[in-house]
Amino acid sequence: MAFYLNRVMLGGNITADPEVREVTNNRVCNFTLAVNRTYYSHTGDTTVKKEDTVFVRVTAWNKLADQLSNYIKKGANLFVEGRLTSRQWATDEGKTINYLDVTAEKITFVTSKGRDGNSQETIAKTEEDNHSEPAATNDYENEIVNKEGEEDTSDLWSND
């Protein structure tokens, strides 16, 4: 029996303001997330604290792309959940380039740094097909409703 899972969870800071463009009647938002890892290197009796940084390209589509481009900027600290996407193209010289990036499905603000708007935590989420809003999956998401029963988009983003 085979088992397949394509799930990515990353936390880090945006390295530059997000880029938004139109691709075949769909909006796409791209940004790079800097993800740090702290570790200790032991050499003999000496222990040195070191840090590595990995830069990961993140892509969001349609309404999620619009919302991200309107509310985040360089320095925003985000938690991104999504899936790996593989892309391939040929250069003018005929060389094949393979590229992996993360397609965002849910984004959570960790801190308000680099965020436009109010300072409450904001959750951006979208279905894998990026066309419909998913059902609430926890009590916090169920509570993000204003007094009239309509969705409060300042706290919860969907892709519809």
Q: What is the pLDDT of residues 2-15, one digit of tens each?
A: 899 999 999 999 99
Q: What gap in Å lies between CA 42 and CA 97, rounded to an integer?
A: 37
Tell if the pTM clears 0.95, that is, is over it: no
Q: Is residue 3 part of a domain?
A: no
Q: Is residue 1 part of a domain?
A: no
Q: What gap in Å lies between CA 56 and CA 35, rounded to an integer?
A: 8
Q: Is residue 97 part of a domain?
A: yes
Mean pLDDT for the chain overall: 76
Write the CB contacts of 95 (distance below 8 Å, at least 6 apart in sequence). none
Q: Is residue 130 part of a domain?
A: yes
Taking 80 as the threshold, does the pLDDT of residue 100 lie above it? Answer: yes
Taking 60 as the threshold, does the pLDDT of residue 131 lie above it? Answer: no
Q: Is residue 19 part of a domain?
A: yes
Q: Is residue 58 part of a domain?
A: yes
Segment 42-54, tens digit of pLDDT: 988 999 999 999 9
Residue 79's domain comprises: 8-157
Domains contained in the chain, number: 1
CATH assignment at residue 38: 2.40.50.140
Work out the burial of residue 72: count CB atoms within 10 Å of its CB; fewer than 13 is exposed, 13-18 middle, 19 or more buried.
Answer: buried
Q: What gap in Å lies between CA 43 and CA 63, rounded to an integer?
A: 50
**Residue (of 62, 69, 71) closest to 26 by Cα position:** 62
